Amino acid sequence: MGKNRLTFFYDKVTKFNFICSTLSGLILLFVTFSIFVDVFLRYFFNKPSIWITEVSTYLFLYIIFLGTAHALQQGLHIRVTFVVDRLNGTVKRIVNLVTSVIALFFVFVLLWQTSVMTWDAFKGDLHSITLLSVPFGYIYMGMVFGAFFLFLTMLFQTILQFQAGNGGDTN
């Protein structure tokens, strides 16, 4: 795959990740407001809602998984770099590539396992045991979706990092 094509697709993924991150923020705003309303109803009218706690719990998964790929591309994930910062350029690049490959493997396993879990939830017609009886398959789909775009983002970044190490430029 040519470098121009790779950067073209990575730019598309980057834009999509930004949209997902924005959606994640809007969901967080909705969850925050909903919980505020529920607390208000509970303490001032003694009439708590029956759905806000459950829906907020499920939406929390979407908040996390929709925003992770954008956080990765912005460099906002927690990193421990006190050892890597002491290394010279070539060794540092090799360590970064090795850790990127290990992280890619981890995210691939995450994608695989969330896909299996989602498929099993749809196949088994699994629902929550609460009053809302929400199908778990739709809840788990957010994890698959987020893990997929996290994997894509990480894969593109690793390839571009490898190309930059061979005299290429990531931009």
Please say if the pLDDT value at position 168 is more than 50: no
Is 144 part of a structural domain of the chain?
Answer: yes
Residue 33: pLDDT over 70 = yes
Residue 171 lies in a domain: no
Give the 3-state DSSP-derived string for the chain, with helices as H, strands as E and coil as C: CCHHHHHHHHHHHHHHHHHHHHHHHHHHHHHHHHHHHHHHHHHHHCCCCCCHHHHHHHHHHHHHHHHHHHHHHCCCCCCCCCCHHHCCHHHHHHHHHHHHHHHHHHHHHHHHHHHHHHHHHHHCCCECCCCCCCEHHHHHHHHHHHHHHHHHHHHHHHHHHHHHHCCCCCC
Does 170 map to a domain? Answer: no
Total domain count for the chain? Answer: 1
**If pLDDT is split at 50, 70 and 90, which confidence band does 85 have?**
confident
The whole-model pTM stands at: 0.85
Domain of 37 in residue numbering reads as: 3-165
pLDDT in tens, 2-24: 668 888 999 999 999 999 999 99
